[in-house]
Amino acid sequence: MDRVVLQRFFETANVPRNHFNAIEVGSIEYLNRYFECDNEILLEYKENKSLEKKGNTFVGDLRKDIDEELKSSIDLIVSTQVLCFIDDYQKVLQGFLDLLKPGGYLIGSEPFLSPMSIYDDSRSGDFRRFTQKGLRYEFEKIGLNPIVIKPYGNESTSVFQILGIAEEDVTDIENILNSNNSSHATLITYIIQK
């Protein structure tokens, strides 16, 4: 259910859709679907490895120092459900900031009402959930000023997410998706411009 809520966010996000260099963490699914990019770059996480470029992939750990040639080289970073799985997420946020060009965008989401990911917890850990105020605080602490931090989802989408009910199992999904409730959101979304 979080994917359907996330798709609604990307469909309505008020950001430029054309970019030269764009990164998505973990896949390029949302870059392909919602943006026009000359150079789509996949960011693959490799723990404790300095970030390096290999073709159209950046491989490494954003908690490590970023090579000078990679700094300020990216127009758009898409990060969906990433910070919750990283122990020292402040360093990752700083890495995003270092990669972005002035005027570049960081757009993404974090879970709010969502079950723990046993798969991710067994690999790197499932550390936290964020609130709107919590995300704003963390962004502002390192000098990022969000344009938008907005909840997506409601009581129904959150219950569906927790129970593992898929979009195709729900009648009248469009009506359900038309309301957002900040106290029962499935996701907290954000748009930041450097």
**List of E strands, the chain:** 18-25, 36-45, 52-54, 57-60, 74-80, 100-111, 146-152, 187-193
For 140-182, write each residue's pLDDT tens digit. Answer: 998 888 999 999 998 998 888 888 888 888 888 888 888 888 8
Pair of tokens at residue 141:
């602490």
CB contact set of 125 (below 8 Å; sequence gap of 6+)? 85, 86, 87
Band of residue 76 on the pLDDT scale cut at 50, 70, 90: very high
- Tokens 């490799």 -> residue: 46
Instruction: Taking residues 43-56, report their average pLDDT.
Output: 85
Instruction: Taking residues 72-81, report their average pLDDT.
Output: 95
Instruction: Taking residues 43-63, report their average pLDDT.
Output: 85
Instruction: Taking residues 20-32, report their average pLDDT.
Output: 93
Instruction: Taking residues 7-28, report their average pLDDT.
Output: 92
Instruction: Determine the length of the chain.
Output: 194
Residue 45 one-letter amino acid? Y
The confidence score (pLDDT) of residue 19 equals 87
Share of the chain above pLDDT 90, in %: 53
Other CB atoms within 10 A of residue 181 CB: 16
The confidence score (pLDDT) of residue 62 equals 83
Q: Model-level pTM?
A: 0.90
The confidence score (pLDDT) of residue 145 equals 87
Domain ranges, residue 181: 2-193
Number of domains in the chain: 1
Q: Give the whole-angstrom CA distance, residue 76 versus residue 176.
A: 30
Q: Give the whole-angstrom CA distance, residue 15 versus residue 36.
A: 12
For 82-121, write each residue's pLDDT tens digit. Answer: 999 989 999 999 999 999 999 999 999 999 988 888 888 8
Residue 138 one-letter amino acid? E
Report the CATH number that the domain containing residue 108 is assigned in CATH.
Answer: 3.40.50.150
Q: Give the whole-angstrom CA distance, residue 76 versus residue 139.
A: 16
The confidence score (pLDDT) of residue 139 equals 93
Q: Are strands 74-80 and 100-111 parallel, antiparallel or unpaired?
A: parallel
Band of residue 69 on the pLDDT scale cut at 50, 70, 90: confident
